[in-house]
């Protein structure tokens, strides 16, 4: 049965990894932690399920493309309006402002879509696959596949394309990048747009596992942040490893120790890491700006 617990944990961990990746990108280019990330997940899940799939009855691939575009646009807009201004502020201000913004998004979802949870079966319904006695739903497989794909694509883009180079240049030294003629503001907006797309992806991958409710993203967003700290603040491979590790450990601990304290486990793990391995598992070489 432990195998089953690990498999479910890994699927959840993949989602944390996705969210953690969004944090890493925004952190590396903007130096901000977006505490509203969980609410971006919620909001995009509502748009996807509530508007695109249910109200407009769009086919899945079309809805997928549309939600990516919508969230990217929203992310870019918010980046310009709010987050680029926060960059010039102290960390304290940025933290509180993103928390406030998260509340706003969550309440807006509530006001627009009402109190009833939305239901979405996903492209695969409830079918499962039996792998050596461990049952894995197609949705969980999809999550793992999508996350793997994103990681690979991102690695290639980041490593080998001009876009990747530009982003890395901005991340390393914004002033110099600006002097070299890189449109820094646009790169920042682009980064934020990308992290919003990651959140959207997390939202719609989660929707069939969870129901779409106003609280669906909050804990996932926070645990994604915990995953990033565990993996190594600002480190891309760390985010992936941290996410998977958190998902699996959390599930194992609630299986073996106590399910009542499941949410406490992630935070207890965070405390253990901060006490004994504050750099995380795969620390980023760049000095932490936190």
Partner 1 sequence: MTGTSTRVALLVLFLAVLALPPFIGLNSYYLQVLNLAWIAAIAALGLNIVTGITGQVVLGQAAMMGLGAYTTGLLLLKTSLPWWIALPCALLLTGLVGAALGLISVRIRGHYLAITTLGLNEIFRLVVLNEEWLTGGAFGLRDIPVVNLPGPGASTASHLYLPVLGITVAVYALTLRVFRTRLGRDMRAIRDDELAAESMGVNSRMTKVVSFVVCAIWGALAGGLYVLFIGFVSPNNFVVLESIRLLLIVVIGGLGSIGGTFLAALVVTVLPEALRDLQMVYMAVFGLGVVIILLLAPRGLGILADWILAPFLPGYRDGPPVAVEQTTGISLERDGNATGPATTRAVPAPAESPLLKVRNVTKHFGGVAALNDVSFDVREGEILGLIGPNGSGKSTMINVCSGIVQASAGQIELGSSVVSGRAAWDVHALGVSRIFQNVRLWTSMTVLENVMVPHPDSRRSGTIESIIGTRSLFAKEERAREAALEALNLIGIGALADRTTSDLSFGQSRLVELARAIVNKPKLLLLDEPAAGLRGGLIMDLADILMRLRDQGMTILVVEHRVKLIMGMCDRVVVLNLGEKIAEGNPVDVARDPVVVDAYLGGKIKRDTTRAPGRVPRSEPIRSAS
Partner 2 sequence: MTFFTRATSTFVAATVMAGFGLAAAGLPAQAQTVIGASAPLTGPRALLGRNFKQGVELAVEEINAAGGVLGKPLQVAFEDDQGDNPNAALNAVNKLMQVSKAPVILGPHYSVAQLATQKTYCDGTTISVTSASGIPVTAGGCKYVIRVRGNDEVQARALVEFARKELKTDKIGIIAVADDMGRGGVSRITAILDAAGIKPVAVESHNAGDKDFSAQLSRMKNAGAALVIMWTHDNEAGLIVRQAKQLGLNMRFAGSTSASEPTFIKLAGDAAEGVISANDFVPTNPDPRIQAFVKKYQAKYNMLPEIWASAYYDATQLAARAINEAGSTDPAKVRAAFAKMQHDGVLASYRCQDNGDCNQQIHIVEVKGGQPMVLTTVKF
Residue 162 in contact with partner 1, rule: CB under 8 A: no
| Cβ closest to partner 2, residue 158 vs residue 210 | 210
Residue 272 in contact with partner 1, rule: CB under 8 A: no
CB of 244 to partner 2, least distance (A): 15
Residue 222 in contact with partner 1, rule: CB under 8 A: yes
# chain residues binding partner 2, by CB under 8 A = 36
Binding-site member from 214, 229, 246, 269 for partner 2 (CB under 8 A): 214
Residue 1 in contact with partner 2, rule: CB under 8 A: yes
Buried b (16+ CB within 10 A) or exposed e, 207-217: bbbbebbbebb
CB of 276 to partner 1, least distance (A): 12
x-marked contacts with partner 1 along 100-139 as a string, rule CB under 8 A: xxxxxxxxx-xx----------------------------
Binding-site member from 65, 145, 274, 277 for partner 1 (CB under 8 A): 274
CA angle 17, 5, 225 (to 5 degrees): 25
Distance CA 31, CA 25 (A): 9
> Burial level of 55, CB count in 10 A (0-12/13-18/19+)?
exposed
- Looking at residues 58 to 87 of the shown chain, list those that interact with partner 1 (rule: CB under 8 A): 82, 85-86
CB of 201 to partner 2, least distance (A): 17
| Cβ closest to partner 2, residue 75 vs residue 247 | 247
# chain residues binding partner 1, by CB under 8 A = 41
CB of 139 to partner 2, least distance (A): 9
Strand partners, 134: 131
CB of 280 to partner 1, least distance (A): 11
- Looking at residues 226 to 255 of the shown chain, list those that interact with partner 2 (rule: CB under 8 A): 251-252, 254-255
Distance CA 207, CA 198 (A): 14
Binding-site member from 262, 281, 282, 283 for partner 2 (CB under 8 A): 262
Catalog residues that contact partner 2 under the rule CB under 8 A. Answer: 1-2, 4-5, 8-9, 12, 110, 114-117, 119, 121, 126, 128, 130, 135, 137, 206, 209-211, 213-216, 219, 251-252, 254-255, 259-260, 262-263
């Amino acid at each position: 049965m432990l195998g089953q617990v690990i498999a479910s944990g890994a699927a959840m961990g993949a989602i944390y990894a996705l969210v953690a990746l969004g944090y890493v990108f925004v952190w590396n280019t903007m130096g901000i932690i977006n505490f509203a990330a969980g609410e971006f997940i919620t909001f995009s899940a509502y748009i996807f399920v509530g508007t695109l799939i249910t109200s407009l009855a769009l086919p899945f691939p079309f809805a997928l493309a549309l939600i990516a575009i919508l969230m990217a646009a929203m992310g870019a807009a918010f980046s310009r309006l709010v987050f680029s201004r926060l960059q010039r502020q102290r960390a304290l201000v940025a933290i509180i402002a993103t928390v406030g913004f998260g509340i706003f998004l969550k309440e807006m979802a509530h006001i627009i879509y009402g109190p009833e949870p939305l239901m979405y079966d996903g492209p695969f319904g409830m079918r499962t696959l039996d792998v050596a006695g461990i049952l894995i739903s197609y949705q969980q497989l999809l999550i793992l596949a999508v996350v793997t794909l994103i990681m690979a694509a991102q690695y290639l883009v980041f490593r080998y394309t001009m876009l990747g180079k530009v982003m890395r240049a901005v991340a390393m030294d914004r002033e110099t990048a600006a002097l070299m003629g890189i449109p820094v503001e646009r790169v920042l907006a682009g980064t934020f747009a990308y992290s919003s797309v990651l959140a959207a992806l997390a939202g719609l991958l989660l929707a069939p596992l969870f129901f779409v409710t106003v609280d669906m993203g909050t804990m996932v967003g926070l645990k994604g942040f915990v995953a990033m700290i565990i993996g190594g603040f600002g480190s891309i491979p760390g985010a992936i490893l941290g996410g998977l590790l958190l998902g699996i450990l959390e599930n194992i601990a609630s299986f073996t120790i106590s399910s009542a304290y499941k949410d406490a486990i992630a935070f207890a793990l965070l405390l253990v890491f901060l006490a004994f391995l504050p750099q995380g598992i795969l620390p980023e070489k760049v000095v932490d700006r936190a």
